[in-house]
Amino acid sequence: MFKLNLKIALRNLWKNRGITSINVGGLAIALAAFILVMMYATYETTFDKENPNYDNIYVVGITYPEFKTYYTAAPFAKAIKQNFLEVESVGLIKESSFELTIKNGKKTLFTGKILAADYNAAKILNIQPKGGLVQPSGDVERLTYLSDKSMKTLFPSKKDNKPEMVGFGASNSGITGTIAGSIKNNLHSNFVFDGVSIGNELGNGDNYDMNNYTICLQLKSGTDVINLEQKITDLYQAELLKSKKGKRNDEIKGISAFLDPLSNLHLRPKAGNDTPYKILIALSVLGILILVIACINFTNLSIAQATKRAKEVGIKKVMGAFRLQLTTQFLVEIFMQCFVAIILALILAELILPSFNNLFQVQLTIWDLENKLFWQLPLILLVITIIAGIYPALVLSGFKPALVLKGNFSTSKQSYWLRNGLLVFQFSIAVVFIISLFTINSQLKYMQSQDVGFKTNQVVYIKNLTLFNKPAKMGSVNFEPVREKMLKIPGIQSATVATYIPGGTNGINSYSANGVKANIDFVNVEFDYFETLNIKLKEGRFFSNTFKTDTVNSAVVNETAAAKYGMKNPIGQTITGSGIEYKIVGVIKDFKSQGFEIAVQPTIYTINDPHGDYKTQIMVKIEENRMAEALAALKSQWLQINPKDGEDFRYEFLDELYGKLFKKQEQLQSVFFAAAILTIFIAILGLFAFAKYITNGRIKEIAVRKILGANDLQIFKLINKTFFVMVLVANLISWPLAYILTKKWLETFAYRVDMPILPFTLSALITILLTIVTVTIQARKAVKANPVDALKYE
């Protein structure tokens, strides 16, 4: 019996190969997209899951009135360990703030991510060097390991894992050290590094003014995290009161601690940006909706084919076939189509994967057991067979033999409304995608065309190891001689150095002015910082060599900072922070240093900050027509210009670095573009086949109308009318949903376009036009046919 049903299934599929191809092709395209989305979702939601302590690891964060951060003071780690029995282990980590050069003879390695960790943190985070994790001896020793890739760069022919001597910094620095071995860099982790430096303890001698470490906790199983969070907050407030005697109790009460699980850090950090999570949710919803549309196509076309199978069902029932047997037969046919669709989908996904990996900066592969496709695909095959096939199978197997064999069969009103409803649903989803795409495009155009308040073009960011500060901190040097040498090179208009560059995060510190105390952003700069970036002055002046006090206690603030402290006439007023009373000499106009998603933060700029970070970020403004010449001169003269940095000259263009802030939104634009194209394509495929079925069912009606005098245009209007109404209804249904979704997305931007009307109008025009063209092409054959051919047997 099974063999017979299989033969019948194959014959039917071949006989209706046009509809079969549309069914299988549309489903394969949707499945390919869904497979890629599943792989990406699996990858994004499994960061650090290889860690055996995954469920019990938390990071300690601090909440201030203005912001949240994972950076805290090293002594707090010891305090937590000493006070809470539910904490099994406490570790400290610190990421490097600048690029480090490591040399082995003529071979040079530039490391941007050296992770410093104490021994406990290495155990908590499952950091495993080759040969196992070894505890350093004493408090001073540091065991440094480099990733496998980094070790191959420095020691390409190395076969063993023995320690190696290397040089740090420039060739003339004279600083050497030992690399203890290699370590696997787990790219599927929140803690990615070029190398790891492990010590017994970190932060010895630090106090509660130095918030530059991250505390990792491993809790005992069953710990009440919410209760522990409150106890850690109480402890932190008590420690602050002891360490900062001048601090008022009400100020301390505004500060609290929180625990963020390891599972949150990649997608939904409490002290960070959850844009990756939103993109993952959007991508997952898109993948599911595209697959649903394809399943709707399948269901719609299968029901539309019902009349062709009616007599077959009638004869089988007369011959004694049960409904369950017929249902099974039809489900087998549908299963075969779905199976072929999955094979084609895997081929398509493999072809698209390189572009997908490039867009999302990942390295996914289909043929990897870790992506879980080996069990997900069979489950998907079963689910789509049931979703796409169960209703058509029940409809087909439920025909009454007496009626169909008399020729009185017609599909029920329920099937008619279901087909039309599913078609409306398909186009509703397509319209939402089209509107979303146009809205995203509008916001991106706005972001790319708006004046951000400073200019990054012609500015080169030079990577540098030398620490610059004025007045000089311990181990730092004066930037002025370096600046003077650079300005002698033809084409260089200005040069400066700062603690941070636009596009990244700034430092945060507490400042008081005008009776108000608040945590605000700070940037430590040198002369010509504002001129190099072409930042506009609102009132007062920039820093200048002609004013000796500028290197001692002068400050420039932005408009938002002046407003924060309620300063109507800020020039000449005092703002106190880092133990210095700064005199405000200038107010700059607000500029979007952190992009469009975050509102401009109140910021203070100073030359002298004893508690600030080192100035390492060199920026040079170069004449456009002399860019290549100036960069070549800088490279050849760098050892003489900046001796402590050495012969290694590296640079990036600042506009490219700032442009990375738009990367996630550009990804979203690409995703919605692909989704809109796919949904429209799949919907049009279904519409094409459905229009063919409807047209074929009305051939005799069309013939009679033509004989009675109807022209081609009238008949085209007649056939298009039903589909036109359905697409119009789809637009009306989808507009409110699209409005809500796109409005919520736009609200994630501090600076955004007003809700545009054009996308709604364009979505209607595009879908109606595509519908009319598709139906007209399909109906043309029936309209142009000779009426005699359709009526000759009547």
DSSP string, 191-202: ---SEEEEES--
Rounded to whole angstroms, the Cα distance separating 605 from 521 reads: 9
HSE at residue 664, side-chain half, CA atoms within 13 A, is 17
User: Which among 644, 669, 699 is the end of a domain?
Assistant: 644
C-alpha triplet 621, 622, 624: angle, nearest 5°:
130
What is the extent of the structural domain holding 499? Answer: 465-644
For the chain, the helix, strand and coil percentages under 3-state DSSP, each to the nearest 5: 50, 20, 30
Q: Do the Cβ atoms of 776 and 716 come closer than 8 Å?
A: yes
- Helices assigned H by DSSP within 244-274: 249-253
372 pLDDT higher than 80:
no
The pLDDT tens digits for 312-324 are 666 666 666 666 7
The pLDDT tens digits for 106-116 are 888 888 788 89
55 pLDDT higher than 60:
yes
307 pLDDT higher than 70:
no
Q: Is 35 a domain residue?
A: yes
The set of long-range contacts for 238-242, using a CB threshold of 8 Å and a minimum separation of 24, is: 239/75, 239/76, 239/79, 239/208, 240/208
User: Which among 264, 285, 307 is the end of a domain?
Assistant: 264
Rounded to whole angstroms, the Cα distance separating 297 from 682 reads: 8
Q: Is 62 a domain residue?
A: yes
Taking the alpha carbons of 463, 275, 126, 94 in that order, is the dihedral positive or negative?
positive
The larger pLDDT score, comparing residue 150 to residue 21, is at: 150
Tokens of 277: 């999570």
Q: Are residues 112 and 22 in the same domain?
A: no
The larger pLDDT score, comparing residue 596 to residue 665, is at: 596
471 pLDDT higher than 70:
no
β partners of residue 164:
179
401 pLDDT higher than 70:
no
3-class state of residue 117 by DSSP: strand
β partners of residue 428:
none
- H helices, E strands: number in the chain: 23, 24
Mean pLDDT over residues 355-371, rounded? 81
Mean pLDDT over residues 388-413, rounded? 58
Q: Which amino acid is at 177?
A: G
Global pTM? Answer: 0.80
The larger pLDDT score, comparing residue 385 to residue 6, is at: 385
Q: Cβ contacts of residue 320 below 8 Å, gap of 6+?
A: none
Which pLDDT does position 639 carry in this prediction? 87
Rounded to whole angstroms, the Cα distance separating 145 from 151 reads: 9
The pLDDT tens digits for 260-288 are 999 999 989 998 778 788 888 888 888 88
For a pLDDT cut of 70, what percent of the chain falls above it? 87
Q: Are residues 376 and 482 in the same domain?
A: no
Q: Are residues 14 and 61 in the same domain?
A: no
**Considering only 37-46, 377-386, 586-595, 724-733, which range has the smallest mean pLDDT?**
377-386
Look-up: residue for tokens 């990792």? 216
Which pLDDT does position 290 carry in this prediction? 83
What are φ and ψ of residue 748, in 5° steps?
A: -75, -10
**Considering only 125-134, 214-223, 421-430, 756-765, which range has the smallest mean pLDDT?**
421-430
Look-up: residue for tokens 């596009």? 503
Rounded to whole angstroms, the Cα distance separating 560 from 571 reads: 14
C-alpha triplet 611, 140, 58: angle, nearest 5°:
65
The pLDDT tens digits for 154-181 are 898 888 888 888 888 777 777 888 888 8
Mean pLDDT over residues 741-751, rounded? 87
Which pLDDT does position 594 carry in this prediction? 85
The larger pLDDT score, comparing residue 725 to residue 411, is at: 725
Which pLDDT does position 54 carry in this prediction? 92
Q: Where are the beta strands (DSSP E) in 592-745?
A: 603-606, 617-622, 650-653
Q: Which of 523, 526, 522, 521 shows the shortest CA–CA distance to 477?
A: 526
Burial of 167-189, coded b for 16+ CB within 10 Å and e otherwise, reads: bbbbeebeeeeebbbbbebbebb
Q: 370: pLDDT confidence band, cut at 50, 70 and 90?
A: low
Q: Is 455 a domain residue?
A: no
Q: Which of 617, 613, 330, 320 shows the shortest CA–CA distance to 459?
A: 617
Q: Are residues 239 and 309 in the same domain?
A: no
Average per-residue pLDDT for the chain: 83
Tokens of 31: 């499945």
Q: Cβ contacts of residue 727 below 8 Å, gap of 6+?
A: 427, 767, 768, 771
Rounded to whole angstroms, the Cα distance separating 559 from 4 reads: 81
Would you put residue 163 in left (φ > 0), alpha (ψ -120 to 50) or beta?
beta
435 pLDDT higher than 70:
yes
Burial of 678-698, coded b for 16+ CB within 10 Å and e otherwise, reads: bbbbbbbbbbebbbbbbbeeb
217 pLDDT higher than 90:
yes
Q: Which of 529, 534, 554, 522 shows the shortest CA–CA distance to 479?
A: 529
3-class state of residue 462 by DSSP: strand
Q: Are residues 27 and 79 in the same domain?
A: no
User: Which among 204, 235, 264 is the end of a domain?
Assistant: 264
For a pLDDT cut of 90, what percent of the chain falls above it? 25
Look-up: residue for tokens 């599929």? 13
Q: Are residues 282 and 334 in the same domain?
A: yes
**Considering only 230-239, 317-326, 371-380, which range has the smallest mean pLDDT?**
317-326
Look-up: residue for tokens 């169960």? 390
Surface-to-core class of residue 253, CB atoms within 10 Å of its CB (0-12 exposed, 13-18 middle, 19+ buried): exposed
Q: How many Å is the maximal CA-CA distance in the chain?
A: 106
The pLDDT tens digits for 689-716 are 677 767 766 777 777 777 777 777 787 7
Which pLDDT does position 788 carry in this prediction? 60
Q: Do the Cβ atoms of 308 and 16 come closer than 8 Å?
A: yes
β partners of residue 197:
116, 144
DSSP 289: H
Q: Are residues 476 and 619 in the same domain?
A: yes
Would you give the distance in Å from CA 384 to the centre of its chain? 29
Which pLDDT does position 255 carry in this prediction? 86
Q: Is 441 a domain residue?
A: no
User: Distance of CA 562 to CAs 308, 594, 612, 649, Å?
Assistant: 77, 19, 21, 39
Which pLDDT does position 399 carry in this prediction? 57
Q: Cβ contacts of residue 300 below 8 Å, gap of 6+?
A: 419, 422, 423, 686, 690
508 pLDDT higher than 60:
yes
Q: 787: pLDDT confidence band, cut at 50, 70 and 90?
A: low
What are φ and ψ of residue 580, in 5° steps?
A: -125, 140
Q: Cβ contacts of residue 396 below 8 Å, gap of 6+?
A: 302, 306, 309, 313, 326, 330
Q: Which of 530, 563, 550 shows the shortest CA–CA distance to 609?
A: 550
Q: Is 306 a domain residue?
A: yes
Q: Do the Cβ atoms of 389 and 298 come closer than 8 Å?
A: yes
Q: Is 691 a domain residue?
A: no
CA dihedral 401, 404, 405, 407 (to 10 degrees): 160
The pLDDT tens digits for 176-211 are 888 888 888 777 888 888 889 898 888 887 788 778
Strands 459-463 and 617-622: what pairing?
antiparallel
Q: Is 757 a domain residue?
A: no
Q: Are residues 287 and 376 in the same domain?
A: yes
Rounded to whole angstroms, the Cα distance separating 122 from 117 reads: 6
Q: 449: pLDDT confidence band, cut at 50, 70 and 90?
A: confident
Q: Are residues 305 and 242 in the same domain?
A: no
3-class state of residue 408 by DSSP: coil
Cis omega (within 30 of 0) for bond into 52: no
The pLDDT tens digits for 524-583 are 999 999 999 999 999 999 999 888 888 889 999 999 999 999 998 999 999 998 889 999
H/E stretch holding 108: strand 107-111
Q: Which of 366, 296, 373 shows the shortest CA–CA distance to 689?
A: 296
C-alpha triplet 429, 692, 18: angle, nearest 5°:
90
Q: Are residues 111 and 188 in the same domain?
A: yes
Look-up: residue for tokens 């599972």? 263
Which pLDDT does position 633 carry in this prediction? 93
User: Distance of CA 556 to CAs 483, 553, 563, 617, Å?
Assistant: 21, 10, 14, 19
Rounded to whole angstroms, the Cα distance separating 257 from 63 reads: 6
- Residue 457: count of CB within 10 angstroms of its CB: 11
| Greatest mean pLDDT among 15-29, 494-508, 557-571 | 557-571
Rounded to whole angstroms, the Cα distance separating 398 from 395 reads: 5
Rounded to whole angstroms, the Cα distance separating 365 from 42 reads: 12
Domains contained in the chain, number = 3
Q: Are residues 226 and 345 in the same domain?
A: no
Q: Which of 510, 499, 505, 502 shows the shortest CA–CA distance to 613?
A: 499
Would you give the distance in Å from CA 353 to the centre of its chain? 17
Which pLDDT does position 665 carry in this prediction? 78
- Residue 605: count of CB within 10 angstroms of its CB: 26
Rounded to whole angstroms, the Cα distance separating 25 from 31 reads: 10
Q: 680: pLDDT confidence band, cut at 50, 70 and 90?
A: confident
Rounded to whole angstroms, the Cα distance separating 744 from 727 reads: 25
Q: Is 752 a domain residue?
A: no
Which pLDDT does position 537 carry in this prediction? 94
CA dihedral 13, 18, 23, 25 (to 10 degrees): 110
Q: Cβ contacts of residue 761 below 8 Å, gap of 6+?
A: none
Which pLDDT does position 557 carry in this prediction? 95
Which pLDDT does position 8 carry in this prediction? 67
The larger pLDDT score, comparing residue 406 to residue 103, is at: 103
Rounded to whole angstroms, the Cα distance separating 658 from 781 reads: 56
Q: Are residues 85 and 124 in the same domain?
A: yes
140 pLDDT higher than 60:
yes
